[in-house]
Amino acid sequence: MCLLGWSRLKGGYHFSHQLCIEMAVDSSAVVVLIIFYLVILVVGLLAAYRVKQKGNEIGELETSLVAGRDLQTSIGIFTMIATTVGGGFINGTAEEVAKAGIVWTLAPIGIFIGLNLGGAVYARKMRNARYLTMLDPFQVHHGNFITFLIYSTSLTGDLLWTASILNALGSTLSVIAQIDLLVAVLMSGFVAIVYTMLGSMISVAYTDVVQMIFILLGLVISLPFVLSNENISAISEKRDTWLGHLSPAYIAVWSDLLVAMTLGTIPWQAYFQRVLSMKSSKQAQILSFVGAVGALVLAVPPALLGIAGASADWSNTTFGVSPVGTNQSSLILPLVISEFTPKIVSLLGLGAISAAVMSSMDSSVLATSSMFTHNVYHEMFRLTASKRELGCVQIFAVVFFGCVSMAIAIWSNVIYGMFILAADIVFVIIFPQLTAVLFFPSFVNSAGAFAGFFLGLVLRIGAGEPIVDLPVWIYFPYYSEEDGGQLFPFRTVSMLLSLGAIVLVTKLSRWACLATSAGCGYKWFMGRNESNPNHLVRQDNHDGNEKDLTQYSNGNRETAGQCEASKRMWIRCQSSGEDVETDFIQG
């Protein structure tokens, strides 16, 4: 078994060494894993059978992507928590507490605030609009070009996130069960792909319930054994280590990371997929609020395990040295469970970590494939595609993106750094774009959206990322090689500048359009006729002809029959004073 070592130097991560240990495969661990995976697979397949029945009643695409908008609140809460409290969350919390201290462990509090903010501000807006994916408001307002740019950014983040947690699981299994990374990644990925492919959102939701139970059992049962182990010294003696320290020079960096973690929690399809699967907007908000509390509570066990790892005497273990001291801090959670608990308990802990990783992987793969099927394949290329065709495309997309994630996890050595970069780009680019198109669409056009996208991308890439050897060529104020590189809150500032560019360029482009006699009718790029901001253009689902939707843009009443005839236009219709909700929204 060879473990890659990373060290954090001057604000970034650098490859330092690899530690090789010869061990035999633990057959008991393999048996326990197989049992865990079989239980999850059976639950997923049973849920997939329910999908087949429900799809005949509601419609296959809506059932596949948002569970027919009929997900029970309790199941929704479980799947929201399980998706948030994934492999990266529990492993990362334990690692950061042991390495940098609680003061720098920002993910739990950031996600807590982010989910509450998402529930209070974004969930109701998205659910009332009855969107199918996070990309729908972009496609309605901007058309395909901007939508594809946003999708590419989201796709990159999802793939690298999935690959990073799969790679972390492979490392975990290699430590506890001595299973080769290739075998671990393929086995875990295969199970997740199978039930996601067959049951989509409903299978993912119900398997998340099982995975959540496994996570709770594994971590909670492990805690008493770890904290009472003789090799864990008095925790209070190592208080300075696990509390951490925040010097005045790094307050801006700390604040920047907290803002990015908080607001960066929102613009992900995996989050909105659960919001859009609820029966009502009120339930969608409850889902976010309760999920936030659940995620914060479940940060406690891995944080305590991280504290134990920072306080342990590692000289009496089979590992021999502290993982933090050998730049193996990413393995702190599995090593603490493996070294300081009885065999059967460590196997339960292994199941908890595996379940956490799978709960994140299935959500990420489903999110990516859903946007591809609905927004790329259907909306951009095949508006006349049948339900059966879209179902086949969805299955293909799940398998394809799942396999791509596994390939990255197996063959790339810089996954974590790439994910950090991708997550930053999601925050800097998608968050301001989503906020703008949802809350002040009249101040946004496609020219502004493109300018904001380009500026955000340049600013974040220019700030550099040491772990992937991305050089710095934009030196923000207070830059210092000696103190860790960028000490300026460049992520937050880049996001705000991107938002400002969206609004400013929109105003300038509209002024330019009004100043010319030709106007701005380039619909593929602009998404609407800029000479009349209320003029909307969409393609009809049946004949591919464009229809003028201006008459609908002010919320005029339409009959239920007219509403049904206007599918693919996202119009919210009314009949006899009562809302007739279809898959549309006012432009």
- CA 138/CA 397 separation, integer angstroms: 21
- Mind spelling out the 3-state secondary structure of 312-346? ECHHHCCCCCCCCCCCCHHHHHHHHHHHHCCHHHH
pLDDT for position 532: 41
Query: Half-sphere exposure of residue 105, counting CA atoms within 13 Å on the CB side?
Result: 28
Stated as kind and residue range, the H or E segment containing 538 is: strand 537-539
pLDDT reading at 580 higher than 70: no
Over residues 295-323, the mean pLDDT reads 89
- CA 308/CA 456 separation, integer angstroms: 40
- CA 554/CA 573 separation, integer angstroms: 11
Q: Percent of the chain, pLDDT > 70?
A: 80
Most confidently predicted of 48-52, 385-389, 527-531: 385-389
Residues 6+ positions from 388 with CB-CB distance below 8 Å:
60
**SS3 category, 276:** helix
pLDDT for position 218: 87
φ, ψ of residue 573 to 5 degrees: the values are -105, 160
Over residues 193-211, the mean pLDDT reads 87
Q: Per-residue pLDDT tens for 11-42?
A: 333 333 444 444 567 788 888 888 888 888 88
- CA 449/CA 98 separation, integer angstroms: 41
Yes or no: say if 347 and 32 are a contact pair by the CB < 8 Å rule: yes
When comparing pLDDT for 41 and 540, which is higher?
A: 41
pLDDT for position 410: 83
If pLDDT is split at 50, 70 and 90, which confidence band does 530 have? very low
- Mind spelling out the 3-state secondary structure of 442-472? HHCCHHHHHHHHHHHHHHHHHCCEHHHCECC
- Give the CA distances from residue 188 to residues 2, 181, 335, in Å, rounded to whole numbers and listed in that order: 20, 11, 20
- CA 294/CA 409 separation, integer angstroms: 29
If pLDDT is split at 50, 70 and 90, which confidence band does 551 have? very low
What one-character DSSP code corresponds to residue 575?
E
Q: Per-residue pLDDT tens for 130-186?
A: 999 999 999 999 989 999 999 999 998 898 888 888 877 887 777 767 788 788 888
Q: Per-residue pLDDT tens for 384-439?
A: 888 889 989 999 999 999 999 899 888 876 666 666 777 888 899 999 999 999 99
Q: Nearest to residue 375, comparing CAs of 155, 587, 549?
A: 155
When comparing pLDDT for 581 and 137, which is higher?
A: 137
DSSP 478-499: T-BTTTTB--S-HHHHHHHHHH
Find how far residue 171's CA is from the centre of its chain: 21
Residue type, 256: D
User: Token pair of 295, please?
Assistant: 């995620």
Residue type, 477: P
Residue 303: CB atoms within 10 Å: 20
Q: Per-residue pLDDT tens for 75-101?
A: 999 999 988 887 778 888 888 898 889
pLDDT reading at 544 higher than 90: no
Place of tokens 């199978």: 194
- Give the CA distances from residue 383 to residues 141, 156, 525, in Å, rounded to whole numbers and listed in that order: 17, 25, 19
pLDDT reading at 230 higher than 80: yes
DSSP 27-57: HHHHHHHHHHHHHHHHHHHHHHHHHHHHHHH
- CA 566/CA 543 separation, integer angstroms: 12
What one-character DSSP code corresponds to residue 10?
T
When comparing pLDDT for 287 and 532, which is higher?
A: 287
Q: Per-residue pLDDT tens for 434-488?
A: 999 999 998 899 999 999 999 999 999 999 887 777 899 999 998 888 877 889 9
pLDDT for position 546: 39
pLDDT reading at 526 higher than 90: no
- CA 390/CA 243 separation, integer angstroms: 51
pLDDT for position 414: 62
pLDDT for position 292: 95
For the chain, what is the mean pLDDT?
80
Q: Nearest to residue 401, comparing CAs of 371, 378, 368, 362?
A: 368
CA angle 387, 391, 393 (to 5 degrees): 115
Q: Percent of the chain, pLDDT > 90?
A: 35
User: Token pair of 247, please?
Assistant: 């010097």
- Give the CA distances from residue 537 to residues 368, 429, 440, 553, in Å, rounded to whole numbers and listed in that order: 26, 25, 19, 11
When comparing pLDDT for 299 and 356, which is higher?
A: 299
**SS3 category, 572:** coil
Yes or no: say if 42 and 34 are a contact pair by the CB < 8 Å rule: no
